[in-house]
Structure 1
């Protein structure tokens, strides 16, 4: 895994087009693609995002909204939180994303930073080779 070290920064809220739902960690791997397809079918475009609001997990799956879109069905306007965060850019297989999350959690613990609960992943932009995608892993701080 080639990842940029975790870093603390302040981010502004970012507009999203998403489907919001409660699920289980067992069900989520089978569910996220269906939710993302709903968002794309509604005409929303942009980089894929997954917001984990808590550990239930209550999730929002969709895209960073690049242009205005018309909400419909279960697709709503939302936003990624703004505030102080710890972020890490993961470059490598999605199967190793757990390592990126663990690195952020470890960084927070080592620096005495309290995580607020919400965390998210922003996928892309596309990179070559295709087996080395880029994913931004972000944790909101208290």
Structure 2
């Protein structure tokens, strides 16, 4: 696994990234919202590539780890690198769940559940608006201008 800079965006960078978000993206990424099921842009995406954080561009999940969970949200059995996703105990709405956020910018991605397929038996259930997609062979987004390893991961996905 290539190494990525997980340093959070500074205040100026974060403000610039947030300025480019739609109202729905702000609601989900910044306020821990959830998009409606069965309507996300990446639910039925079958292309090969890499799913990245919509806000900061950090690579999160490879298309090879995507599966149809039947839940209405894009689901993955493992992240590209466990260090790219943080987990947080979520007790909202009278439930106990595990929220997942981007390890670099802390944007809300979705939740992880212990009912996925082998080999991990995890279901990372994500909001499409929390993600961007880069087809295999294309350069990854680099909104923070950090360069380095980020330029080549789409080739390896």
- The answer to whether TM tops 0.5 is no
Flag the structure with higher strand content: 1
Q: Normalized against structure 2, the TM-score is what?
A: 0.27
Q: Normalized against structure 1, the TM-score is what?
A: 0.29
Query: Greater RCO between the two (CA within 8 Å, min separation 6)?
Result: 1
